[in-house]
Amino acid sequence: MITAGRIVRLAERDRAEVYFFLDGQICSALAGDTVLTAMLASGHALRKSEFGPEPRAGFCLMGACQDCWVWQDEGPRIRACSAFVTQGMRLHTTQPESWT
């Protein structure tokens, strides 16, 4: 599967497809993808930095750097590297209005 985002799938491509919403757009991922993998297979960033102009896309992938927190429509913020994507999940790269 050629992805539109940052990530290149090199192995384990034979998994069931999962659909989720990224900033309101429907996107597909594979069952077993982390939220980080799923989001970066469709885009180039997870969120904007609060302290600078640059987008962020995670850093350590082991739950230590806290660079990859993203928002959901409902439910708590999640660390994208350690949560798995689920069918119908609604993810956001910016804070949704319902949060403010």
Partner 1 sequence: MSETSSQRVVIVGAGPAGIRAAAALVEAGLHPVVIDEGHCAGGQIYRRPPAGFTRTAEQLYGPEAPKARALHMLFDRLAKEGRLTHCAASSVIAAQEGRLHVLGEGRVQMIGYDRLILATGASDRVAPVPGWQNAGVYSLGAAQIALKAQGVALGRRIVLMGSGPLLTLVGAQLVKAGADVAAVLDTSPWRQQMRGAVWGLAARPLVALRGMVLRARLGGRYHADVTLERIEADEQGVAAMRWRDPGGREHRTPCDMIGMGWHLRAETHLADLVGCTFTYDEQWRQWLPRTDQMGRAGNGVYLAGDGVRLLGADGAEIAGRLAAAACLADLGIPASATGVDLRKLARLERFARGLAYAFPWPAAMARALPDEAVVCRCENVTAGAVRQSVDFGGGEANRVKSLSRVGMGRCQGRYCQLAAVELVAAQAGCAADAVGRFRGQAPVRPAPVGAFLRDG
CA 86 to chain centre: 11
Token digits of residue 86: 């689920």
With b meaning 16 or more CB within 10 Å and e meaning fewer, what string describes 56-68?
A: bbbeeeeeeeebb
Minimal distance, residue 41 CB to partner 1, in Å: 8
| Cross-strand bridge partners of residue 70 | 78
Q: Which of 13, 74, 97, 100 binds partner 1 (CB under 8 A)?
A: 13
Minimal distance, residue 15 CB to partner 1, in Å: 6
> What is d(CA 95, CA 80) in angstroms, rounded to the nearest whole number?
15
Q: Which of 21, 72, 77, 90 binds partner 1 (CB under 8 A)?
A: 77
Question: Which residues, 25 to 54, sit near partner 1 by CB under 8 A?
Answer: 31-34, 37, 40-41, 44-46, 49-52, 54
Token digits of residue 5: 């985002």
Q: Does 7 bind partner 1 (CB under 8 A)?
A: yes
Where do contacts with partner 1 occur on this chain (CB under 8 A)? 6-16, 31-34, 37, 40-41, 44-46, 49-52, 54-67, 69, 76-77, 82, 84
